[in-house]
Amino acid sequence: MRHDPVKDPVAFIDQRTSTAPLLRKALRYLFPDHWSFLLGEVALYAFVVLVATGVFLALFFEPSLSETVYRGSYEPLRGATMSHAYKSAVDLSFDVRAGLLMRQTHHWAADIFVAAIVVHLMRVFFTGAFRKPRELTYLVGLTMLFVALLEGYLGYSMVDDLLSGMGLAIGYAVALSIPFVGGNLGLLVWGAPYPGDPTFMSRMFIVHVFLLPALLAVLIGIHLALVALRHHTQFRRSDPRASERRLVGVPAFPGQAPRSLGLMAATAAVLFGLGALVQINPIWLWGPYETWLGTNGAQPDWYLGWLIGALRLVPGFDVTIGSATIVPNPFWGGALFPLVVLAVLALWPWIERRVTGDRAAHNLLDRPRDAPFRTGFGLGFLTWVVLVFFAGSSDRIFVFLGVSYTAQVWFWRFAIWVIPLVVAVVTVRWCRALQRVEAVEAQRAAAEL
């Protein structure tokens, strides 16, 4: 018998798994050709880089709060008492070859992972890709965004530098602030009143390096399976073959495979390039954390900026009955605000269905102007969150421009409600105007025929 280097391995697999028909289909699975469909892939490949660099880091990081004296090669910290966690993270940066590259690439990848998810979510939202039959895909994606936020927060909290400590103190206060269960919840998670039981570090470690990554991997699998089962959405286009019932696209093989692999290589290149050349979170400058230490100008990673902004904007009050506190202040900005954002986004497919009465399945995407209500609401909602985010950097604005911090906070306390409303109204009118222009253009084109 003749040897066929392509068919023989396929036959070997097929005759043992009966999967040739599936493979045949998978090779010709169609990907519609549009750049915005690659945003989710960027997130996926950032996750791949996160896992790869994270495994390296986990081989050197010591998740322990027991104290030691630093004797490594970074002169300014020599002789300082610190936890093994912080020491091993500093050692990773100075004394493990390629350690700093891995640490910085991991941190950059986390920032870009969340950014890619957010931009991908915006694409899905503003094109109506979340509509029937893809609501489950959307919900799984939204879940991944919030899991990614928690995962990132735990990642920089484990290092036990000053920035970690300040972030954890805030996290503890937010947990405590939840009405009726907060105190119990805080004790359950931390194991003891703050800074908590020594085992709290082990808890963060197992959740950061195993539970949440495994959860993300499973959710990514479900997300992709859901996409594939219903096939991709597509834009209305000039190709006459494309319709609600017919999909036009590039097959997975050979067309899409080199493009997607090229995107993976490019994503990894950017992340490693940033990790090599652009410093991020220089933990050796922050120093070890103690409960009584704090520093001005401490900034979390960008994806937690909206929570800092919300925590800062809420006016100073606790909800009390007599002398008993019911709702401590951090609840509003730290817990309720993100929950409202999550709830609105999660319920949106059903809210829109109720408002528009459109219950049909959709494979063709809207342009933002095609759905003025959705686009107006979405842009207003996005503006709300982004303004709260900006309000969180009022202290930096004060440092750079000298604008009074108090005045800025008072401005934002009103502006975050007014500006989104204005944006929403203007957007709806703008979309309608664009629609009218198109109608006129279409009439003229018809008349000129």
Partner 1 sequence: MKTLLRRLLWIVILFRSVREKPPEVPEERLVEPVEPRPGAELLVAGLLVATAGAAALAVVAYGLDWSTQAFGGALAGALVLLAAALVVAAKTFIPDEQLDEEYPPEAHPHEEREVARIVRESGQGITRKRLLGGAAGLAGGALGAALLSPAISLGPVFDTSQLNESPWRRGVGLLDDKGRPWRADDIDDGTFYTALPEGADPKLIGSPLILVRIDPAQLHLPAGREGWAPEGIVAYSKICTHAGCAIALYRNPLFDETEPGRALVCPCHYSTFDPAKGGTVLFGPAGRPLPQLPLTIGPDRRLVAAGGYSGPPGPGWWGVRSP
Residues 313-342 that bind partner 1 (CB under 8 A): 313-318, 320, 323-330, 333-334
Stretch of 6-14, 226-234, 365-373, 418-426 lying at the interface with partner 1 (CB under 8 A):
226-234
Does 269 engage in binding with partner 1 (CB under 8 A)?
A: yes
CB contact at 8 A, 386 and 412: no
Q: How many residues bind partner 1, per CB under 8 A?
A: 103
Q: How far is CA 171 from the centre of its chain?
A: 18
Q: Which of 50, 144, 159, 178 binds partner 1 (CB under 8 A)?
A: 178
Residue with Cβ nearer partner 1 (9 or 262)? 262
Grouping H, G, I as helix, E, B as strand and the rest as coil, residue 4 is coil
Can you read off the two tokens belonging to residue 396?
């930096």
Bridge partners of 31, per DSSP, are: 250
Residue with Cβ nearer partner 1 (248 or 382)? 248
Does 446 engage in binding with partner 1 (CB under 8 A)?
A: no
CB of 143 to partner 1, least distance (A): 21
CB of 216 to partner 1, least distance (A): 22
Residues 188-217 that bind partner 1 (CB under 8 A): 188-195, 197, 203
Q: Is 97 left (phi over 0), alpha (psi -120 to 50) or beta?
A: beta
Q: Count CB-CB contacts under 10 A for residue 12.
A: 10
Stretch of 50-58, 258-266, 338-346, 427-435 lying at the interface with partner 1 (CB under 8 A):
258-266
CB of 440 to partner 1, least distance (A): 32
CB of 426 to partner 1, least distance (A): 31
Stretch of 5-13, 116-124, 251-259, 382-390 lying at the interface with partner 1 (CB under 8 A):
251-259
Stretch of 69-77, 182-190, 215-223, 429-437 lying at the interface with partner 1 (CB under 8 A):
182-190
CB of 263 to partner 1, least distance (A): 7
Residue with Cβ nearer partner 1 (256 or 435)? 256
Nearest in space to 366 (alpha carbons), one of 140, 133, 124: 124
Q: Which of 4, 8, 290, 441 binds partner 1 (CB under 8 A)?
A: 290
CB of 181 to partner 1, least distance (A): 8
Residues 90-129 that bind partner 1 (CB under 8 A): 97-98, 100-101, 104-105
Residues 409-428 that bind partner 1 (CB under 8 A): 409
Can you read off the two tokens belonging to residue 327?
């709702």
- The contacts of residue 323 (CB under 8 Å, 6+ apart) are none
Does 312 engage in binding with partner 1 (CB under 8 A)?
A: yes
Does 370 engage in binding with partner 1 (CB under 8 A)?
A: no
CB contact at 8 A, 121 and 44: no
- The contacts of residue 332 (CB under 8 Å, 6+ apart) are 310, 314
CB environment 175-208: b (16+ within 10 A), e (fewer): bbbbeeebeeebbeebeeebbbeeebbebbbebb
Grouping H, G, I as helix, E, B as strand and the rest as coil, residue 30 is strand
Does 405 engage in binding with partner 1 (CB under 8 A)?
A: yes
For tokens 């989710």, the residue is: 40
Can you read off the two tokens belonging to residue 109?
């990848």
Stretch of 54-62, 121-129, 166-174, 416-424 lying at the interface with partner 1 (CB under 8 A):
166-174
Q: At what angle do helices 135-157 and 99-126 cross, to 10 degrees?
A: 150
Q: Which of 82, 116, 173, 391 binds partner 1 (CB under 8 A)?
A: 173
CB contact at 8 A, 363 and 406: no
For residue 408, which phi and psi values (nearest 5 degrees)? -60, -45
- Over its C-alpha atoms, the chain yields an Rg (Å, rounded) of 26
CB of 267 to partner 1, least distance (A): 9
Residues 9-28 that bind partner 1 (CB under 8 A): 28
Q: Rounded CA gap, 139 and 73, in Å?
A: 47
Residues 33-72 that bind partner 1 (CB under 8 A): 33
CB of 134 to partner 1, least distance (A): 12
Residue with Cβ nearer partner 1 (30 or 222)? 30
Q: Rounded CA gap, 308 and 58, in Å?
A: 29
For residue 3, which phi and psi values (nearest 5 degrees)? -90, 125
Residue with Cβ nearer partner 1 (40 or 171)? 171
Stretch of 15-23, 306-314, 336-344, 417-425 lying at the interface with partner 1 (CB under 8 A):
306-314
Q: Count CB-CB contacts under 10 A for residue 388.
A: 24
Lay out the site mask for partner 1 across 134-163 (x = CB under 8 A, - = otherwise): ------------------------------
Grouping H, G, I as helix, E, B as strand and the rest as coil, residue 50 is helix
Grouping H, G, I as helix, E, B as strand and the rest as coil, residue 69 is strand
Lay out the site mask for partner 1 across 385-404 (x = CB under 8 A, - = otherwise): ----------x---------
